[in-house]
Structure 1
Amino acid sequence: MIEFTFEQILTNLLLAARWTIVLSIVSFIAGGVVGFALLVMRVSKSRLLRTVVKGYIEVFQGTPLLMQLFLVFFGLPLLGIEVSPWIAATVGLTLFTSAYLAEIWRGCVEAVPKGQWEASSSLAMNYFEQLRHVILPQAARIAVGPTVGFGVQAVKDTALVSIIGFTELTKAGTMISNATFKPFLVYGLVAVIYFVLCYPLTRYARTLERKWNAAR
């Protein structure tokens, strides 16, 4: 057993939390970009595109994130593509996040009254002009709250990447716990740090939902 002071344990956990924050931000932004592309195809007039994207979303929503991370980390090397835990974690979380964001945003787009589509069509706008100038600005007001709320889930999902060897907050907690034999203290601090990261986002999401409520 290695003796660590409380300050040393907390300092090491906070240092590891930096990678949790970085991974959350990178995967959420990349997932948002991919998710937006999926959204455009999901609400397009092409039946083929809608079917492909629907299948993509159902696969990633219907399978555990942990399994997806395993497939990326252990599956890509079988194809001759060597990936580090960082790359595997980023790719896995990006694909997972994009599927959920695309579905959240699709619901927001479909919440816009159909009369808006008809009105913009009567102005001789094409599909992309309708989305850009009429539909998406209205859908964005509805989507802000749920999107920020999903960001909380994205932060907590980073805990699963510890299983593929990426050293973030949960992995660091496990390593320190094994070294100090103080699991209650270590994991208690891990839980507090996650709460400090997630609670402001939760409160912010509720505030945005009230502020941008479509009914107003």
Structure 2
Amino acid sequence: MGKIRYNQHENWSEMRRRGRNPNPILVEGKHEAIISEDVWESVQQLMKRKSSISPRTFNGEYLLTGLICCPKCGAAMVASRTKSKQKNGEHVIRMYYSCGNFRSKGSSVCSANSIRKQDAEDYVIKRLKQVLSEEKILQSIINKMNETLKNRTQPLQQELSHITGQVEQIEVKKKRYLELYEHGQFEKTFFLDGCRSFKLNLINSIPKSPSLNLNSGKITLHSSHMSEYIL
């Protein structure tokens, strides 16, 4: 365009390049323009159009994304949509679950193996209703969940038990220390130094992470709750 910009940034010492000046000084230069002003304006309009975000064509959810697998390669099935135009001019969007490998890597890796979204979700919900209506099956699921919960929390429970033991030992020593001081076997300064030492040991024994505040809750099943699981 043959122009020169000055004062493009503000508060450079603190903001650096983030401190963009919305109104820089623009003056005509003496050098030859690289592009014409018409080309510059056309490019700016094109960039502005491309920077806009297209509206979403679907606001629902694909409930089974990543949960069902391709029957051919075993990859996770992902959301897929097709758009077609009917004879009356109306556009129809059909939703599917398709092979993730096919969607990302193409037909050289796998096939689409698409299944209609509604058909897949209806089938899974129907099977869930059947499973959850059987108390034995539901109890087996709950037992597995409790076992998983136990395995995850056991290391933390052991650490918590160890810390509790350390705290109890410190409390016993502190009580004994106080008894000796009351019987005149310690000087005051020596006693205060000891108290500070106990306090420091107590602080170091307690973890800073709140993850050790565990609840030993367990999932249970009651017949009165069965209706809550049936969709």
TM-score past 0.5 threshold: no
Q: Report which of the two has the higher share of helix.
A: 1
TM range (shorter): under 0.3
* TM-score normalised by structure 2 residue count: 0.24
Q: Report which of the two has the higher share of strand.
A: 2
* TM-score normalised by structure 1 residue count: 0.25
